[in-house]
Each structure stands twice: as structure tokens, then as C-alpha cells.
Amino acid sequence: MNSEKLETLIGYKFKNNKLLLEALTHRSYINENPAWSLPHNERLEFLGDAVLELIVTEILFNQYPTTAEGQLTALRASLVNYQMLAEVARSLSLEKFLLLSKGEAKDTGRARDVILANAIEAIIGALYLDSGYPDVKEFITRWVMPRLSEVLEKGSYKDAKSLLQEKTQAQQKITPLYKVLEESGPDHKKLFTVGAYLNDDLVAKGRGFSKQDAEVEAAQEALKKLEE
């Protein structure tokens, strides 16, 4: 793996290249390669998640001085969710640089998106440690914030649960209910499957790494079905 190519894509040369390599190291790679000298990227991901949220919050706060807190929160959520971060990762061809086990390397779909999103957060954490706030803000401004125009155009920042409730109350006089159907995965990355119900009818399912995220996805899927 040639990390220099990734540094060229990112537009930043790491002083401590081990931080970048750590950010690219998935837990599964170490399980398969126990002699690997670096830790997996979950600590950097933890740091990067907080740095990303702070910087996106600051940019939105300054860019929209009259916008209410609730809408700013929705805009931020639409920019830092795993689907959007996976798109950012693909724009950087990040899949070519990740260190994964052979099994994880074959995985696709949602699991791959989560791995990509986590790696972006880990890179943000590594950037923050290597250089500090200005350079990591430049990275986020360059690679994450341009997605805002897409979010605004599609209206994807709107709360799907609120939209579903408005729709079902207007059409059927029913308030949607959400129930956890399944919990899986390790404690640090528990995956929830939630069902959206109208009366006793299961309308759609959603999955996410929090109950709230799973409920939102279930609401999105329910809206699609009601529009069919």
C-alpha cells in the first residue's frame, strides 16, 4: 500500500506517517496479521468523529447566522452520517488504501460503507494529531462541506420521522411507532434493526448504529413505500 498516493489525493503530507497507516488499519487486518506493529483505527475514529462534528458545526454556525438550531442540527447530521462519509471516502479512492482482512475486503453494501466512513473519521483524527485544527478544517472544508449543496437540493436534511408522521396523520390519522427488532455486533459497534409500524402493521425496517439512526432509516423506507 502506497500511502504517498493517498497523501497526494488528500493534499496533505503527514509528518508522522504512522498516524496515517493507523487510520487505514481495520481491526480485522490485525486479527489476520498479528505481527502488524500499529493499532487498529478505532481510537483515531473516536477522536475524528468529535473533530468532524465540531468543525462542521462551526462552519454551519458561521455560514447560516440566522438559521435556527434545529435546522442546523439536521444539516450537520446529513453531512456526518456514515452514508455521506462513505461517499467522501470513495471520492478519495480510499478503498484502495485500507488494510483489511481478506474476508472484510470482499464485503460490500452497508458493511463496506461503515468501514469507509469510519476510516474517514480516523483520517480526520490522524490529521488533527499530526497538524492541528487549521489543516484538518481545510480537509473537511474541501472534502465534506461541498456535499452541502447536494443535501440542500435533495432536502435530505429534513427529518424523515417528522415527515412520515405528518403524512400518516394527514392520510390515515395514525402515528407511526418504532420497535427494536434486533441487536447485533460488539458493544462498541452495536447494530440496531428497527421496524416502523402503522397500527400493528410492519411497514418498513431500518438499521443503524444507534436506535435513532435505525428509526430514521425505517421512516425513510416507509416514506418510499407510501409513495409507491
Give me the active site residues, please.
Answer: 49, 121
What Rg do the C-alpha atoms of the chain give, in angstroms?
Answer: 19
Stated as kind and residue range, the H or E segment containing 3 is: helix 3-10
What is d(CA 57, CA 145) in angstroms, rounded to the nearest whole number?
11
DSSP for 109-148 reads THHHHHHHHHHHHHHHHHHHHHH-HHHHHHHHHHHTGGGH
Any binding-site annotation on 45? Answer: yes
**6 CB-side CA count, 13 A:** 21
Cβ atoms of 218 and 163 within 8 Å: the answer is: no
Any binding-site annotation on 118? Answer: yes
Any binding-site annotation on 17? Answer: no
Strand order across the beta sheet in which 201-208 lies: 177-184, 191-198, 201-208
Which residue ranges make up the annotated binding site? 45, 118, 121
Which residue ranges make up the annotated binding site for Mg(2+)? 45, 118, 121
